[in-house]
Chains A and B, each alone.
Chain A
Amino acid sequence: MPSKVISLNPKIYPLEAIYGACYVFIDRAYLFLDGDPKEEVKVYIKGKSNLSPKKLEALAGEFENELLNYTLRLALAKNTRKVRETIVEKALFSALPQEKIREDEEVVEEDPLGIAVPWEEKYGKKK
């Protein structure tokens, strides 16, 4: 089956975004990664069925768009982390009954691994 190689500069596209975009395509294509993560990453892409050159070109184009989408998403995820986390935490926290939250807190309070016990108390003072 015909395949296409897409050569990527890892300084422009983070490896995380390349993996992510590949994953989105695994239902439509067979993908294989090669190259050097510091210099050049090669994505080998081929359709799951026998694709005409035009369709293969379109598939590769779709992949490149998804890669751009993924890269931007990763950048946004980093830049907006604080505000997103606040919103998501608030929304999920509010949907859970207070008893459940208290139960979780109690589990933490129990501290079965003794994480909250100071080092000195556990092992004595440093000599």
Chain B
Amino acid sequence: MIKTGFFRFKKLGPKYLLTNELGDFIFLKEREFKSFQEGKIKPESPVYEELDKKHFTSQSWQCENCQQRFIQRYSQRREYLSQGPGLHIIIVTLRCDHACIYCHASSKSMKRFDLDMKRNTAQKVVDMIFETTSPDINVEFQGGEPLANFGIVKFIINQVLEKNKKAKKRLRFSLVSTMTLLSDEKLNWLNQKKISLCSSLDGPEKLHNKNRPMLSGKNGYLGTVRGIKKAKKKYKDLRYQINALLTTTRDSLDFPKEIVDEYVRLGLRDIHLRWLNPFGMAKQPQKKIGYRAEEFVKFYKKALDYIIKLNHKGINIRERMAMMITQKAFTDNDPNFLDLRSPCGAGIGQLAYHYNGDVYTCDEGRMLGQMGDETFKLGNVHKNSYQEIISSPVTRSLCVASTLDGLAGCSDCVYLPYCGVCPVFNYSEEGDIFAQAPNNFRCQVNKSILDYLFQKFEEPKTLKVFKKWLNR
């Protein structure tokens, strides 16, 4: 009699998918699954060998070396638990030259200089950032349009670099911008300081401009594309690269191929097929620009299939969600994407600093704050210490509410080792930080995408493409 180890499972197509705490997975035919469950699988069979190798049998956990290896792998997969906040998002201004229909940041007019971060606040933010226990610091500038308050961006970067001479943390900077305000002077400075740039590109001109109109009525697409091209030319060192972010609206759903083509045409190496967040301005016209989970999943599948096809032709472009799940399923190095881990990064993996010094658990919490709901505010850099911020009951609550092992619908889900929840999303959508998983848009999307990706892992040619993405 072969005893089974702990595993979660689901029927996926004609086979059964089994996963365990180490993120190992295996597909079994119905007959194999039944005999495995009944302890009747033959030890000399190749399936048994694979089950044993991947820690699905009780025996594979019992020797001392096996247990040590298990502990080592489990700790490595959850290394992020011992690090503290590494991502520090700074909203240097709420001013923006765009009026995007879904604006996550609830941006304001370019004339509202009162909504710029002031130097004394910026200094306090930098001081707080260096209180983190994390050996890595990733400072991400957001807005509004951060280039509209470039003086403060420069001030913060210089302060961080100066402070780090003593602290010796592993530093990274990134700036999220529409690029329309990117002058040669600003670009030279950013390039010199090795600041990664990330723009927003929603696809071809017509779609991009519909989603992201400029306040001036000018063609925002042209400005963004000009900025991306200029930056790509300037940035020779690919470690500090130019990325773009896609936000999918209802209008995007009919153009998966065209959107991917646009990214390829501009020489962008990655695309993250992201669904629309219910925060900021997007909350109001959600019905008009939003969609049901299955509509987004259909779009995602079409776009991903096209990306895979392009890769087979030798065109290199990666889809970030697929890449992260491949990394989680085939390695023990978690990509530490804060929305897709357990517990999520709110407060313990990231902090978001508003222009006025208010500190939030994450950017999503900050967006809700901007909408008048301060549930996820942890304090203010002028009034509270780092200890007070981190020890806040809000941080603790979100940590508990995003630990999948204790969540209904998650604890027994086959995808638990690869997934994550967002309590702020749940609160915004359902009025409770704990979601009703089957009714939750995010859960519906993630489950369907994971179903699709795990089925893709069964196709050797596709899997080769995904694994190649990890090595690039």
Q: A residues within 8 Å of B by Cβ?
A: 24, 27-28, 65-66, 69, 72-73, 76-77, 80-81, 83-84, 87-88, 90-92, 94-98, 100
Does B403 sit within 8 A of A, measured CB to CB?
A: yes
Please indicate the chain A residues that have their CB under 8 angstroms from the CB of B82 in the complex: 90, 94
The complex places the Cα of A94 from the Cα of B349 at a distance, in Å, of 10
Please indicate the chain A residues that have their CB under 8 angstroms from the CB of B83 in the complex: 94
Chain B positions 383-433 with a Cβ under 8 Å from a chain A Cβ: 386-387, 390-391, 395-396, 399-400, 403, 405-408, 411, 431-432
Q: B residues within 8 Å of A by Cβ?
A: 78, 81-85, 131-133, 342-343, 347-348, 386-387, 390-391, 395-396, 399-400, 403, 405-408, 411, 431-432, 434, 436, 439
- Assess whether B396 is in contact with A77, with CB atoms less than 8 Å apart: no
- Assess whether B436 is in contact with A95, with CB atoms less than 8 Å apart: no
Please indicate the chain A residues that have their CB under 8 angstroms from the CB of B400 in the complex: 84, 88
Please indicate the chain B residues that have their CB under 8 angstroms from the CB of A83 in the complex: 405
The complex places the Cα of A1 from the Cα of B405 at a distance, in Å, of 41
The complex places the Cα of A84 from the Cα of B85 at a distance, in Å, of 20
Report which of A72, A76, A91, A96 forms a contact with B81, defined as CB distance below 8 A: A91
- Assess whether A92 is in contact with B405, with CB atoms less than 8 Å apart: no
The complex places the Cα of A73 from the Cα of B408 at a distance, in Å, of 5
Whether A24 contacts B431 in the complex (CB less than 8 A), given A87-B342, A94-B82, comes out as yes
- Assess whether A77 is in contact with B406, with CB atoms less than 8 Å apart: yes
Report the nearest B residue to A66, measured CB to CB. Answer: B436
- Assess whether B343 is in contact with A91, with CB atoms less than 8 Å apart: yes
Distance between B18 CB and nearest chain A CB, rounded to angstroms = 20
Whether A97 contacts B131 in the complex (CB less than 8 A), given A66-B436, A80-B405, comes out as yes
- Assess whether B133 is in contact with A88, with CB atoms less than 8 Å apart: no
- Assess whether B411 is in contact with A76, with CB atoms less than 8 Å apart: yes
User: Which 5 pairs, one residue from A and one from B, show the smallest C-beta to C-beta distance?
Assistant: A95-B84, A72-B408, A84-B406, A94-B82, A80-B406
Question: What would 6 more interface pairs be, CB under 8 Å, given A95-B132, A96-B391?
Answer: A28-B431, A69-B408, A73-B434, A84-B400, A91-B399, A94-B348
Please indicate the chain A residues that have their CB under 8 angstroms from the CB of B434 in the complex: 69, 73
Distance between A67 CB and nearest chain B CB, rounded to angstroms = 11
Distance between B169 CB and nearest chain A CB, rounded to angstroms = 13
Between A and B, 9 residue pairs with Cβ closer than 8 Å are: A24-B431, A28-B431, A72-B408, A88-B400, A90-B81, A91-B343, A92-B391, A97-B387, A98-B133
- Assess whether A92 is in contact with B411, with CB atoms less than 8 Å apart: no
Report which of A27, A77, A84, A95 forms a contact with B133, defined as CB distance below 8 A: A95
The complex places the Cα of A83 from the Cα of B410 at a distance, in Å, of 14
- Assess whether B348 is in contact with A91, with CB atoms less than 8 Å apart: yes
Please indicate the chain A residues that have their CB under 8 angstroms from the CB of B386 in the complex: 97
Report the nearest A residue to B439, measured CB to CB. Answer: A65
- Assess whether A96 is in contact with B436, with CB atoms less than 8 Å apart: no
Distance between B469 CB and nearest chain A CB, rounded to angstroms = 29
The complex places the Cα of A72 from the Cα of B407 at a distance, in Å, of 9
- Assess whether B431 is in contact with A27, with CB atoms less than 8 Å apart: yes
The complex places the Cα of A25 from the Cα of B400 at a distance, in Å, of 21
Please indicate the chain B residues that have their CB under 8 angstroms from the CB of A84 in the complex: 400, 403, 405-406
- Assess whether B133 is in contact with A80, with CB atoms less than 8 Å apart: no
The complex places the Cα of A87 from the Cα of B348 at a distance, in Å, of 12
- Assess whether B403 is in contact with A96, with CB atoms less than 8 Å apart: no
Please indicate the chain B residues that have their CB under 8 angstroms from the CB of A81 in the complex: 406
Distance between B464 CB and nearest chain A CB, rounded to angstroms = 34
Whether A87 contacts B347 in the complex (CB less than 8 A), given A65-B436, A66-B436, A97-B387, comes out as no
Please indicate the chain B residues that have their CB under 8 angstroms from the CB of A97 in the complex: 131, 133, 386-387
Please indicate the chain B residues that have their CB under 8 angstroms from the CB of A66 in the complex: 436
Distance between B438 CB and nearest chain A CB, rounded to angstroms = 9
The complex places the Cα of A76 from the Cα of B131 at a distance, in Å, of 35
Whether A94 contacts B84 in the complex (CB less than 8 A), given A87-B343, A88-B343, comes out as yes
Please indicate the chain A residues that have their CB under 8 angstroms from the CB of B439 in the complex: 65
- Assess whether B387 is in contact with A96, with CB atoms less than 8 Å apart: yes
Most-contacted residue by chain A among B390, B411, B431 (CB, 10 A): B411
Distance between B128 CB and nearest chain A CB, rounded to angstroms = 12
Please indicate the chain B residues that have their CB under 8 angstroms from the CB of A90 in the complex: 81-82
Report the nearest A residue to B410, measured CB to CB. Answer: A76
Whether A87 contacts B81 in the complex (CB less than 8 A), given A24-B431, A96-B387, comes out as yes
Distance between A125 CB and nearest chain B CB, rounded to angstroms = 42
The complex places the Cα of A80 from the Cα of B403 at a distance, in Å, of 10
Distance between A73 CB and nearest chain B CB, rounded to angstroms = 5
Please indicate the chain B residues that have their CB under 8 angstroms from the CB of A87 in the complex: 78, 81, 342-343, 403, 405
The complex places the Cα of A96 from the Cα of B407 at a distance, in Å, of 25
The complex places the Cα of A72 from the Cα of B412 at a distance, in Å, of 12
The complex places the Cα of A73 from the Cα of B83 at a distance, in Å, of 28
